[in-house]
Structure 1
Amino acid sequence: MTTATALSGVIPPVCTPLTPDFEVDTASLTRLVDHLLDGGVDGLFVLGSTSEVAFLPDGHRRTVLETVVGHVGGAVPVLAGVIDMTSLRVLDHVRTAVEAGVSGIVVTAPFYTRTHPAEIARHFRAVHARSTVPVYAYDLPVSVHSKLGAELLLELAAEGVLAGVKDSSGDEGGFREVLLGRRDRDLTGFSVLTGSELTVDAALWMGADGVVPGLGNVDPHGYVRLFAAARNGDWAAARTEQERLFKLFGLVHVGGPHMGRSSSALGAFKAALHLRGIIDSPTTALPQIPLSPEEISRVAKFLTDAGL
């Protein structure tokens, strides 16, 4: 839901289903969107990390945007990642996303080259100047090698450059610093969303507006129940749901030492969606390594144990 203060609720980062020859499977993508909407989510985030954005060429990105925005038809906000290494490249993605009709764009700090905080601020200001939709920062230091500090985020929020942040840093102290700074500066329109799907109940208790959970592709209903319990002040129910989701999240570790974490986690999400009959193929983008039949059977066990 979008409130008078900030974007809030459950906003999953949508997986990008691919055909076995690595094209975007638009039929599976629309089924996945319907699955998420049926789960009661409050918005969708396409072309993020869980969407394999780093692996997708520009044509694939455009197909995802047009498919999801067209299919949703304004039923919920659609945020789009405009993630790339440097500002000029990001500005190209901004233009494409805005033309596709997204509700907001999500931007990381520049990466590949090391970037000074003053340059990061300039980057976000440049994106805001070119965008006709709200700009959300994506704090992802494990991938971009730059932590978005609370002071920088709050300064840009006060300027009207940033409408919010998705925090996937895992830095709970820094997360609380942003929440406290927002309150102290009366930045009620600045949305603070957690991307840490294992501690959502704690983040909401601290005052977060919502969650962007990769596991929400597999079980959107669970995250919607968790958010509703927290909103109603039923923290025991929120904790119970979080603990069930915590156990389900173990499926991201089914891949063995012969593959990277991305191959294991994104492969598990897609295997789960395939096993649930939502997407046609669990294919992940090159050069990720596919899960073996035995590893996929372990994903099935996690689904069974979670009541899915």
Structure 2
Amino acid sequence: MTAHPSPATTPSTPRSAPGLPTPLTGVVPPVCTPLTPDDEVDVASLERLVDHLVGAGVDALFVLGSSSEAAYLPDRHRETVLTTVVRHVGGQLPVLAGAIDMASLRVLDHVRTAADAGADGVVVTAPFYTRTHPAEIARHYRLVADRGQLPVFAYDLPVSVHSKLDADLVLELAADGVLAGLKDSSGDDGGLRRVVLGARARTDTPGFAVLTGSELTVDSALAMGADGVVPGLGNVDPHGYVRLFRYARDGDPERARAEQERLCALFGMTGVGDPLRMGASSSGLGAFKAALHLRGIIDCPRTAAPQVPLSAEETERVGKFLAAAGLL
């Protein structure tokens, strides 16, 4: 049996990949996964969605995250999505792949698939299902970085994995070369600020990217020093998020705030679903897909089971949000 160095004690070597800038900056939409009426991946619609995003000037793509419905997709669908997007992008932009599963060895299988497909990096949550200690979370990331073949971005998603990534741990792993960046979907603006300020103050975290996953506070996150945004709503209006990022980058806070407020109003579409008959995921992801369908980008607004589809009336309300935002 081959002995492996202890992932808890052995620093990782910083990794790089073709097409992955350090730090990664800008707008990185988490790409929705179009489905056919019989629950297969709609490859043609996925390619049109990628063209829609690339044409808007986004900086990278993230597949197999929450907005991609990765938690709902079987492995064969995940592989189809990944290979389709990497092939269709053809190196124009970096592609990050979600490698999201319950524990390290399962995640490593997804990392190998992503590497074989040509992805430029992977996005990894803390372990979940079992109760996890902070030492095990650290060991998880070190193991994935040590044995994997791609740069690792931590995904802070406590609503789904039931543990919050501690800012000091994130910075320690960044300093050790374990993490290339953080996608913060925690909703904890104070924690995000701690990571941003900590990374800025240290000299041992070069190239570490801090990306906010909140569609609604991008202007403030960028003002505090975040490097970019991973907005689910960016599937529907990538041009808006590209404008917002550029206004913030170019030191125009008034225009950035105005664009953010327009996008906040558009985000209201995620609440069209009746909470008495569906959950927030059905409503939010259903609204994104309904909007993409109404805009002629994907053929079918179907969401993966067991999510509940929007009604005709709810879909009509999505159309009104699009019209108010000037997107229909």
TM-score bracket for this pair, using the shorter chain length: over 0.9
Q: In structure 1, what residue type is equivalent to 2:175?
A: A
Does the CA-based 8 Å contact 2:129-2:161 persist in structure 1? yes
Report the equivalent of 2:12.
none
Q: Secondary structure at the match of 1:147?
A: coil
Does the CA-based 8 Å contact 1:192-1:208 persist in structure 2? yes
**1:167 aligned to which of 184, 192, 198:** 184
Does the CA-based 8 Å contact 1:103-1:134 persist in structure 2? yes
Report the equivalent of 1:30.
47
Report the equivalent of 1:192.
210
Deviations 1:89-146 (A, max 9, x none): 1111011011000000000000011100100010001110122221000000000001
Q: In structure 1, what residue type is equivalent to 2:173?
A: L
Report the equivalent of 2:239.
221
User: Is residue 17 from structure 1 mapped to residue 34 from structure 2 by the alignment?
Assistant: yes
Q: In structure 2, what residue type is equivalent to 1:155?
A: E
Counterpart CA distance in 1 for 2:244 and 2:131 is 38
Q: Secondary structure at the match of 1:110?
A: coil
Q: In structure 2, what residue type is equivalent to 1:131?
A: G
Report the equivalent of 2:113.
96
> Within 5 Å, which residues of 2 pair with 1:88-237?
88-186=105-203, 187-237=205-255
* Structure 1 unaligned residues grouped into runs of 5+: none
Deviation at 1:230, TM superposition (A): 0.5
Deviation at 1:5, TM superposition (A): 4.5
Q: In structure 2, what residue type is equivalent to 1:94?
A: V
Does the CA-based 8 Å contact 2:111-2:149 persist in structure 1? no
* Structure 2 unaligned residues grouped into runs of 5+: 1-18
Q: Secondary structure at the match of 1:105?
A: strand
Tell me which moved more, 291-300 or 185-194: 185-194
> Within 5 Å, which residues of 2 pair with 1:244-259?
244-257=262-275, 258-259=277-278
Q: In structure 1, what residue type is equivalent to 2:54?
A: L
Deviation at 1:184, TM superposition (A): 1.6
**1:69 aligned to which of 86, 91, 115:** 86
Deviation at 1:43, TM superposition (A): 0.3
Q: Which runs of 4+ in 1 moved over 2 A?
A: 2-5
Deviations 1:15-47 (A, max 9, x none): 000001110000000000000001110000000
TM-score normalised by the chain length of structure 2: 0.92
Report the equivalent of 1:282.
301
TM-score normalised by the chain length of structure 1: 0.98
Distance 1:3 1:104, change over 3 A: closer
Deviations 1:214-244 (A, max 9, x none): 0000000000000000010000000000000
Q: Secondary structure at the match of 1:80?
A: strand
Report the equivalent of 2:279.
260
Counterpart CA distance in 2 for 1:184 and 1:114 is 33
Does the CA-based 8 Å contact 1:94-1:130 persist in structure 2? no
Deviation at 1:3, TM superposition (A): 8.6
User: Is residue 272 from structure 1 mapped to residue 272 from structure 2 by the alignment?
Assistant: no
Considering only aligned residues, what root-mean-square deviation do their CA atoms show, in Å?
A: 0.9
Counterpart CA distance in 2 for 1:100 and 1:181 is 34
Q: Secondary structure at the match of 2:298?
A: coil
Counterpart CA distance in 2 for 1:3 and 1:306 is 33
Q: In structure 2, what residue type is equivalent to 1:213?
A: P
Distance 1:239 1:111, change over 3 A: same
Deviations 1:280-307 (A, max 9, x none): 0000000000000000000000000000
Q: In structure 1, what residue type is equivalent to 2:213?
A: G
Counterpart CA distance in 2 for 1:253 and 1:274 is 18
Counterpart CA distance in 2 for 1:39 and 1:133 is 27
Deviation at 1:190, TM superposition (A): 0.6
Counterpart CA distance in 1 for 2:202 and 2:149 is 25
Distance 1:3 1:131, change over 3 A: closer
Counterpart CA distance in 1 for 2:21 and 2:59 is 15
Tell me which moved more, 4-13 or 80-89: 4-13
Q: In structure 1, what residue type is equivalent to 2:316?
A: S
The count of aligned residue pairs is 307
Q: Secondary structure at the match of 1:244?
A: helix
Deviation at 1:69, TM superposition (A): 0.1
Counterpart CA distance in 2 for 1:5 and 1:26 is 31
Deviation at 1:159, TM superposition (A): 0.5
**1:85 aligned to which of 102, 125, 128:** 102
Does the CA-based 8 Å contact 2:49-2:297 persist in structure 1? yes
Does the CA-based 8 Å contact 2:112-2:149 persist in structure 1? no
Q: Secondary structure at the match of 1:265?
A: helix
User: Is residue 47 from structure 1 mapped to residue 72 from structure 2 by the alignment?
Assistant: no
Counterpart CA distance in 1 for 2:239 and 2:148 is 33
Distance 1:3 1:122, change over 3 A: closer
Deviation at 1:188, TM superposition (A): 3.0
